[in-house]
Each structure stands twice: as C-alpha cells, then as structure tokens.
Amino acid sequence: MWINGILGADVWHLVAAFCIYSVLGWLVESIYMSICNHRLTNRGFAKGPFCPIYGFGALVGYFLLRPFAGNPVLLYLTGAFIATVFEYLVGRAMLRIFGEVWWDYREKPFNYQGIVCLESTIAWGFYAVIIIGYLHKAVMNMATWYTYGPGLWVLRIIIILFTIDFLHQFLSALHFNVMEQRDRLMEKYEEFKARWY
C-alpha cells in the first residue's frame, strides 16, 4: 500500500508530506496568533502540534495548482481563490457540525460571514506561490530522508498519536462523554434484561 503511486508520488511520501505540512501549519498559525494575542496560543484543534487542515490543504493545493507552477501570477490568483473557497466550505461544515467556527474574521475588513476575509485571501495566494514554487520540493526531500522500514514505523506512530488526540478532542467538542454513554448503555441493557428475563 505504501509504495503505490498517486499522481506521480508514492503514498509514503504523501502521508509524510501531510504530517510535515500539518506541523508546519500549526507552527505558523500558532506563532501568528501568539503574536496577535500577546500570549502563547495553540491553534491546533487537538492538543498536539498538528493542524490537519493545513496538511490536506497543502496537498490538495499542490495537486490542483501544479499546472500553474510556471506562471506565478496565475498561481497566486488561482491559489488565493481555491484556498478561500476551501476555508469557507470548512467553516460552513464546522458551523453545521459544532455550531461554531474556530476562527472569526468579523472584525477584519472585507469579510464574509466572519468565515473568510480579504486579508486571508491575499495570504493564501502567497502561501500557494511559496508551497508550489519552493516548499513542496523541500518537504518531499524531507520525507525521503526516511527509509521505508524505520520511517514507516515513525510515521505509523505519528498517525496513531494524532488520531487518538484528534478523536479525543472531536468527541469532547461534540460533548460526548464516554462514561456517560457507558452508563446509558448499561441502563438500556438493564431495561432490556428486565423485560425479557
């Protein structure tokens, strides 16, 4: 599974790149928000240093924007547009699932519903140029540093830790209490048992 190709890259490199972009996105966002808030701010959804939206966004952006790599102006405009649409769709999905969006642009000029704003759109265009023009090659080279054997184990451990962290935070955000659910299941079981035995 790990060596089959997807659009010219093997799955091993893509998963490693996803992890690297997720950590880099968390780092950039946390530094920026720490400066804005004048205090250390963790911008990740989970507790760990991982923002999967940046991992997905960078890889999807790379595959969609790769054809524009030779034209920086078109790359910038297309990247800004696609990332803004992606940000808006994620924001709407968060509203539907959690009842809130975890960022707020209402105080920014030229914002739409507080979910997207001109400032972010401008930044997304620069990110597209930086990722496609410079960063992606370095990220893929970093992913190549690992051999398939030990690197695969490191990657598996990272993914398992992230998944546990993410699921814990996701269930907490949905106000899902494991002990409470267990107690409810036991009550249902006792009701069922009382009815049939």
pTM over 0.75: no
Place 175 in a pLDDT band, splitting at 50, 70 and 90. low
Tokens coding 62:
């790379």
Choose between 90 and 177: higher pLDDT.
90
Query: Which pLDDT score, from 0 to 100, does residue 76 have?
Result: 95
Q: For residue 35, with 0-12 CB atoms within 10 Å meaning exposed, 13-18 middle and 19 or more buried, which class applies? A: exposed
Query: How far lies 127's CA from each of 62, 97, 99, 122, 134, in Å?
Result: 11, 28, 29, 9, 10
Place 2 in a pLDDT band, splitting at 50, 70 and 90. very low
* Alpha carbon of residue 104 to chain centroid: 17
Query: Which pLDDT score, from 0 to 100, does residue 50 have?
Result: 78
Choose between 155 and 44: higher pLDDT.
155
Query: Which pLDDT score, from 0 to 100, does residue 148 have?
Result: 63
CB 41 within 8 A of CB 34: yes
pLDDT at 196 over 70: no
How would you classify the pairing of strands 9-10 and 111-112?
A: unpaired
Tally of CB atoms within 10 A around 158: 17
CB 106 within 8 A of CB 43: no
pLDDT at 147 over 70: no
Query: How far lies 73's CA from each of 6, 11, 76, 81, 147, in Å?
Result: 27, 30, 5, 12, 37
Of residues 28, 52, 7, the one with CA closest to residue 159: 52
Place 79 in a pLDDT band, splitting at 50, 70 and 90. very high
How would you classify the pairing of strands 111-112 and 116-117?
A: antiparallel
Residue 174, phi then psi, degrees to nearest 5: -85, 5
Query: Which pLDDT score, from 0 to 100, does residue 174 have?
Result: 64
Half-sphere exposure of 115 (CA within 13 A, CB side): 17
Tally of CB atoms within 10 A around 5: 10
Place 88 in a pLDDT band, splitting at 50, 70 and 90. very high
